[in-house]
Structure 1
Amino acid sequence: MPVVLASHNAHKLEELRRILGPRLEGIELRAYDGPEPAEVGVTFEANALIKARAAAEHTGLPAIADDSGICVDVLGGAPGIFSARWSGPAKDARANVDLLLWQLTDVPDAHRTAAFTAAAAMVVPSAFAPGDADVADAVRGEWRGRLLRAVRGEGGFGYDPIFAPDDGDDRSAAELSADEKDARSHRRRAFEALLPRLRASLGLREG
């Protein structure tokens, strides 16, 4: 059974395949090549559902998507849903990181707490669902930590080089291996919560 991964982000697609592939036996995870919808929601869940719904409508297939960002406590949860365009409309990851570091220059270490946040969403058209109606759902996952004062590490993407998880490991998320990050991340937590609902909506047994 095909399920569309509603993203054009190559890094995210790679991560989703690593997280979901072993847990969705018998499911073909397809990349999405359709138009990107405007992300006009005001929550991670709303934007994830917008992306999943657009992919499902374009392909006629079940679709899953996520929307994620970093939420800094001292900034009242910002950048939040604006994380990808924090420094402007160009989605410049390094400029986003540099701006956030500058904004937190004088913030003491004890107050540099933050959470990577992801909402995982699914839209299953009625033709694939056990019932006679489309199924749409979204859940959230968080990965708590603190923001470093300088970039560290060559792996990951986005804000990974300045995020140190709260799990006794002093490395940044960009210094973790792919397997280490996958085992802890906000995206992993969100999709683990979504998977039982996706299986049920597709009429699949728990794997």
Structure 2
Amino acid sequence: MKIVLATHNQGKIREFKKAFAEIGWEAVPIADVADVPEPEETGHTFEENALIKAHYYAKAVNLPVLSDDSGIIADALGDRPGIYSARYAGVHGDDEANNRKLIEDLKPYTGDKRKGRYVCVTALAWPDGRELTAEGTCEGIIRDFYKGKGGFGYDPLFYLPQYGKTMAELPMEEKNKISHRGRALKALLAKLKEMK
């Protein structure tokens, strides 16, 4: 079975390819299959945005497509940045500006009030309209200083008390096991196996 990955992120591509190889599926990035413009993410939840992308590309390439949508949620900020995580400071993908804005917005809060989580929803859509989704979360504390050089996005701020490290300090293999994306992918693969 062949599946198309709706991402250009090399880290995600490696992770997804490895996971699908374990169940005997060949996973190929969208760039290897078609030159299709990205759809507008108009959903109001991670799941809606993941499904928008999966269905859009499945229709375009006539193959099953896996997509994901993820972000960070600070409890004290009423579920923000949420679906706007990648463009929280205004410009899509400006990690430094997004991190600075989150630090600024969380200034009034200390201790347990800085709790938050990473959320990821993976979505698999077939050209005939069938779909499958799964969610993964990773709980932690959003700190106001950076630690660690690994990962990307908010990882240097996201502290995992049970590990005594930020997400950016974890080796990639370990991060993939406990991350929101790793958990969402594992849950999706479990659902896929049940369908067989």
* TM-score, length of structure 2 as denominator length: 0.91
> How far did 1:153 drift?
0.7
SS at match of 1:153: coil
Q: Does 1:65 align with 2:51?
A: no
State the distance in 2 between where 1:153 and 1:38 align. Answer: 33
For residue 98 of structure 2, what is the aligned residue in structure 1?
96
State the distance in 1 between where 2:21 and 2:167 align. Answer: 22
For residue 177 of structure 1, what is the aligned residue in structure 2?
171
Q: Any stretches of 5+ residues in structure 2 without a counterpart?
A: none
Letter in 2 for 1:2: K
Q: Does 1:191 align with 2:189?
A: no
Equivalent in 130, 135, 149 of residue 135 of structure 1: 130
Q: Any stretches of 5+ residues in structure 1 without a counterpart?
A: 127-133
Is the 8 Å Cα contact of residues 119 and 135 (structure 2) preserved in structure 1?
yes
Is the 8 Å Cα contact of residues 120 and 194 (structure 1) preserved in structure 2?
yes
> How far did 1:21 drift?
4.0
Instruction: Give 1:88-167 correspondences, 5 Å limit.
Output: 88-126=90-128, 134-166=129-161
State the distance in 1 between where 2:80 and 2:27 align. Answer: 32
Q: Percent identity?
A: 39
Is the 8 Å Cα contact of residues 21 and 27 (structure 2) preserved in structure 1?
no
State the distance in 1 between where 2:156 and 2:82 align. Answer: 17
> How far did 1:198 drift?
3.0
For residue 129 of structure 1, what is the aligned residue in structure 2?
none
For residue 8 of structure 2, what is the aligned residue in structure 1?
8
SS at match of 1:160: coil
State the distance in 2 between where 1:157 and 1:88 align. Answer: 18
* TM-score, length of structure 1 as denominator length: 0.87
Is the 8 Å Cα contact of residues 16 and 27 (structure 2) preserved in structure 1?
no
For residue 130 of structure 1, what is the aligned residue in structure 2?
none
For residue 27 of structure 2, what is the aligned residue in structure 1?
29
Runs of 4+ off more than 6 Å = none
SS at match of 1:91: coil
State the distance in 2 between where 1:113 and 1:14 align. Answer: 30
What CA deviation, in whole Å up to 9, does each residue of 1:63-108 have, x standing for no partner? 1111000010000110000000000133201110111011112311
State the distance in 1 between where 2:28 and 2:194 align. Answer: 20
What CA deviation, in whole Å up to 9, does each residue of 1:26-64 have, x standing for no partner? x11100122210000000000000111111111111011
Count of aligned positions = 192
SS at match of 2:156: helix
Letter in 2 for 1:78: R
